[in-house]
């Protein structure tokens, strides 16, 4: 299973939120490049980089951070947060993103998101499925839609999506364990999609469990920053 550390950016700094709440913010490092290099030195190959300022502003903001990490590391970077227009996606790829993740845009403006899939290909565009009680949440989790998770994923699989990052909001930042049953249900229904778990990973046992059930990848954030998972444990 692919281990994908997360760097979430506010004001150019590496932070973590609890359950997507901007009022529950903790700054872990003022220099995201230092964090990214530490991941790379530990043998990590992939990075999930989230522009939380962009998610709130609804357009790309922290592309300079992306550019710095992309040019000064060899990490494969998936970038998300605030990508709402063709220009946003162009800037993200020009700044060094290998893939981009779209969540809110896939709900609010599906024609634009489908256009990205058609232009860049299903391997470059990841579907972000942020979930609360099996309903899709948008705008940095500040709003819950009426879209059912499984219908949402099914519709975009038909459009060519190959990878899905699914985040259980109730689990995110809580260090209470991953939503195993949710990911098992997704993989059972969508066996040919790359399902990437996000939210709740608290220790190596969670990663072992996600590996056992067959997740393609797992995004890890707070557990690393809080020292519950050591980078040495993740060495390849």
Q: What span, in angstroms and rounded, lies between the C-alpha atoms of 34 and 98?
A: 20
Q: What is the pLDDT of residue 223?
A: 92
State the pTM of this model.
0.93
Average pLDDT over residues 49-58: 92
> In terms of residue numbers, what domain contains 108?
2-234
Average pLDDT over residues 206-235: 94
Q: What is the pLDDT of residue 236?
A: 55
- Cβ atoms of 15 and 221 within 8 Å: the answer is no
Q: What span, in angstroms and rounded, lies between the C-alpha atoms of 168 and 174?
A: 11
Q: What is the pLDDT of residue 141?
A: 55
Question: Of the given ranges (62-76, 115-129, 135-149, 181-195), which has the lowest mean pLDDT?
Answer: 135-149
Identify the band that residue 112 occupies on the pLDDT scale cut at 50, 70 and 90: very high
pLDDT in tens, 127-173: 999 998 889 988 655 667 889 999 999 999 999 999 999 998 877 65
- Cβ atoms of 166 and 182 within 8 Å: the answer is yes
- Cβ atoms of 140 and 129 within 8 Å: the answer is no
Average pLDDT over residues 65-83: 97
Q: What is the DSSP string of 144-197?
A: EEEEEHHHHHHHHHHTT--EEEEEETTTTTS-S---HHHHHHHHHH-TTSEEEE
Average pLDDT over residues 9-36: 88
How is residue 155 written in tokens? 């519709």
Indicate if 130 belongs to the active site.
Answer: yes
Q: What is the pLDDT of residue 168?
A: 87
Could you give the number of structural domains in the chain? 1
Q: What is the pLDDT of residue 213?
A: 97
Q: What is the DSSP string of 92-130?
A: HHHTT-SEEEESHHHHH-HHHHHHHHHHH-TTTEEEEEE
Q: Which residues have CB under 8 Å from 206's CB, separation 6+?
A: 177, 178, 200, 218, 223
Q: Which of 51, 53, 130, 168 is catalytic?
A: 130
Cα dihedral across residues 163, 169, 173, 179: positive or negative: negative
Q: What is the pLDDT of residue 34?
A: 97
The CA distances from residue 23 to 15, 16, 27, 171, 192, in Å, are: 12, 11, 12, 17, 38
Indicate if 78 belongs to the active site.
Answer: no
| CATH number, position 203 | 3.20.20.70
């Amino acid at each position: 299973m692919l281990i994908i550390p997360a760097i979430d950016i506010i004001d150019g700094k590496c932070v973590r939120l609890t359950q997507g709440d901007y009022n529950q913010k903790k700054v872990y490092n003022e220099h995201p490049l230092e964090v990214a290099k530490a991941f790379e030195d530990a043998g990590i190959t992939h990075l999930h980089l989230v522009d939380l300022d962009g998610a709130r502003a609804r357009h790309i903001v922290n592309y300079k951070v992306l550019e710095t990490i992309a040019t000064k590391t060899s990490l494969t970077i998936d970038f998300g947060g605030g990508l709402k227009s063709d220009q946003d996606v162009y800037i993200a790829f020009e700044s060094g993103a290998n893939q981009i993740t779209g969540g809110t845009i896939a709900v609010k403006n599906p024609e634009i998101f489908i256009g990205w899939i058609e232009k860049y290909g299903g391997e470059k565009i990841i579907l972000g499925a942020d979930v609360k009680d099996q309903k899709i949440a948008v705008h940095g989790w500040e709003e819950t839609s009426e879209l059912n998770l499984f219908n949402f994923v099914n519709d975009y699989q038909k459009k060519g999506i190959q990878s899905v990052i699914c985040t259980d909001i109730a689990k995110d930042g809580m260090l209470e364990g991953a939503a195993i049953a949710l990911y098992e249900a997704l993989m059972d229904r969508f066996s040919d999609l790359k399902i990437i778990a996000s939210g709740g990973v608290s220790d190596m046992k969670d990663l072992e469990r996600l590996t056992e059930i067959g997740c393609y990848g797992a995004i890890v954030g707070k557990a690393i920053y809080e020292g519950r998972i050591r980078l040495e444990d993740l060495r390849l």
